[in-house]
Amino acid sequence: MLIGYARTSTLEQEAGLEAQVRDLTALGCTKLYKEQASSVGPRKVLDAAMEFAREGDTLVVTKLDRLARSVTHLGTIIAALEAKGVALRIENLGVDTSTSTGKLMLNVLGGVAQFEREMMLERQREGIARAKGEGAYKGRKPTARAKAAEIKALAAEGLSMAAIAARLGIGKGSVHRALAPQGSTP
Catalytic residues: 9
Which of 117-127 are b and which e, b meaning 16 or more Cβ less than 10 Å from the residue's Cβ? Answer: eeeeeeeeeee
CA 58 – CA 73 distance, rounded (Å): 18
Other C-beta atoms closer than 10 Å to the C-beta of 111 total 13
- Tell me the C-alpha to C-alpha distance, in Å, between residue 89 and each of 5, 98, 102, 164: 10, 8, 9, 48
**Alpha carbon 170 to chain centroid distance?**
22
60: phi then psi, degrees, rounded to nearest 5: -115, 130
53: phi then psi, degrees, rounded to nearest 5: -60, 140
